[in-house]
Amino acid sequence: MSATVVALGGNALMRPGERGTAAEQLANLRRAVAALRSLLGPGLVITHGNGPQVGNELIRQERAADEAPPLPLWLAVAQTQAEIGALIAAELRPAATPVCVLTHVRVAPDDPAFDRPTKPIGPFYPAEQAEQLERERGWAMVADANRGHRRVVPSPQPLEVVELDAIRGLSASGAVVIACGGGGIPVVRRGERLAGVDAVIDKDRASALLARGLDAKRLIVLTEVPAVYRDFGEPAQEEIRALSHAEAKTLLPELAEGSMRPKVEAALAFGRETLITNFDALESALGGDGGTRIA
């Protein structure tokens, strides 16, 4: 049985202007699951982002630091995997049998990203507190225009989905598997053990790695816009319906580094049919009339 991997973007759980309450996230997921109805069944594997949820969790930890010790980032990723997995599972029932897999993803300890942290996470801090956090916790901090200073962490390349065999077996059993949440819990190998590291793995790259490991027939990346655009945001922006591997590679430099580029890079890394679209256009895109297909 060949799998389909669907990568849910952040808008699947939180919309602009929302606080991210459980009720808001469930309402958004209801819409997402409705859009996925035609895909529900054996062979479906769902991945998801966790950016806003990890940010909220880090804020809770900072506010409660005098009462309870803050946890490392990799455990915050684990917490939000379980949180979001429970929310998705609640919306999938009873139409499907969901199973959420707490997923670790191995990265290289010498990945260059560890020397150049770039991924902003968590709350904003005033300059004096940011300096204190740099001294006491060794955090890398960057200034953000008019909003204060923010922690940045590495975003290394994913190398191995540790629970791949378990995910494959659960999928073959007929379950809809929820896995690689937030890109996975980043770990490095130390001898025979795995150790968590404070980093954030790109969700789309991890989804492509998982899809390749499952020998999936296709990868569907759901984001905020209905397709990939040339000259996005400009008066002459043009929706792209289809791209060959070579055309997608040529287009990469034109795409925004923090939004659409990682999605096209994930399609290239997967190497099979990838569909990039949003929930509203998914049904028509699955029928060949919408979205961007990368072959």
Catalytic residues: 10-11, 119, 203, 263
Best CA proximity match to 7, nearest among 162, 209, 200: 209
- CB contact at 8 A, 123 and 55: yes
Residue 204 to residue 294: CA distance in whole angstroms: 15
Best CA proximity match to 152, nearest among 128, 175, 125, 170: 125
Residue 235 to residue 268: CA distance in whole angstroms: 28
Cross-strand pairs, 161: 105
Residue 284 token pair: 């028509």
- CB contact at 8 A, 203 and 258: no
- CB contact at 8 A, 125 and 160: no
